[in-house]
Amino acid sequence: MENKYSGRSITFDTLEKAIASDCSAMQEVVNLFKPYITRLSMEDGRFNKELFERLVQRLMYITWTFDMHYSEK
């Protein structure tokens, strides 16, 4: 059985670029999570655009502040 998310992925290089504020890489990250964010933005069967935009902003903030240099202590 085919996984419906099998074609949706992001490369390590793209993630590094998104963290470094590359606009096209950040757009790839947002597009990866767009279906999930859209589903979260539904309230009482209606799409809430303001909630969608806040969730996208939060995703962008989390991506920019992500620390790629993990060291186990």
Decide: pTM greater than 0.85. Answer: no
CB-based burial, 15-46: b 16+ in 10 Å, e otherwise: bebbbeeeeebbebbbebbeeebeeebeeeee
- Which residues fall within 8 angstroms of residue 42, CB to CB, at 6 or more apart? 48
| Predicted pLDDT of residue 13 | 92
**What is the residue-level pLDDT of the chain in tens, covering all 73 positions?**
566 666 778 898 999 999 998 999 999 999 999 999 999 999 999 999 999 999 999 999 999 988 777 666 6
Adjacent-strand bridge partners of 28: none
| Predicted pLDDT of residue 2 | 60
Domain ranges of the chain: 12-64
Is 43 in a helix, a strand, or coil?
strand
First to last CA, the chain: 41
